[in-house]
Amino acid sequence: MASRKSDVLLRNFSTSLTDNDLQFFTSRLHYQYQDDLHQAFTKLDQMKKNNQLENCDVDYWLAGAKSSNDFYRQVDQLASSCMKEYERRGGSKISLT
């Protein structure tokens, strides 16, 4: 289960995304098809380098995973946070394709 601090960090990340970026991250992290995780983390890195994120601590949070199981648990938490924000913004109005 996520700590209160990580809950806030994830909520800050997902709410700071544009509709297009939220759609991208939600679809990649939710479905996790062939290259989806690589695409999601590459985009996260690009956004960080281009100063497009107010709160990019999510990158450091993921890097702090103590094991591969912990990392994938964190990815699931990130996916859940993005999906909650996607649904809050109207869900079906933002296509996940």
Across the range 52-78, mean pLDDT stands at: 89
- Asked whether residue 72 is assigned to any structural domain, the reply reads yes
* Residue-level pLDDT at 90: 87
- Asked whether residue 97 is assigned to any structural domain, the reply reads no
- Asked whether residue 53 is assigned to any structural domain, the reply reads yes
* Residue-level pLDDT at 2: 57
When divided into structural domains, the chain yields a total of: 1
Range of the domain at 61: 4-90
Residue 94 has pLDDT above 80, yes or no: no
Q: Which residue has the tokens 């990815």?
A: 75
Q: Distance between CA 62 and CA 29 in Å, rounded?
A: 14
Across the range 52-61, mean pLDDT stands at: 79
The Cα-based distances of 46 to 34, 39, 50, 63, 74 in angstroms read 20, 10, 6, 16, 20
Residue 13 has pLDDT above 90, yes or no: yes
Share of the chain above pLDDT 70, in %: 89
The pTM is what?
Answer: 0.85
Lowest-pLDDT choice from 23-27, 75-79, 89-93: 89-93
- Asked whether residue 96 is assigned to any structural domain, the reply reads no
Q: Distance between CA 82 and CA 20 in Å, rounded?
A: 12
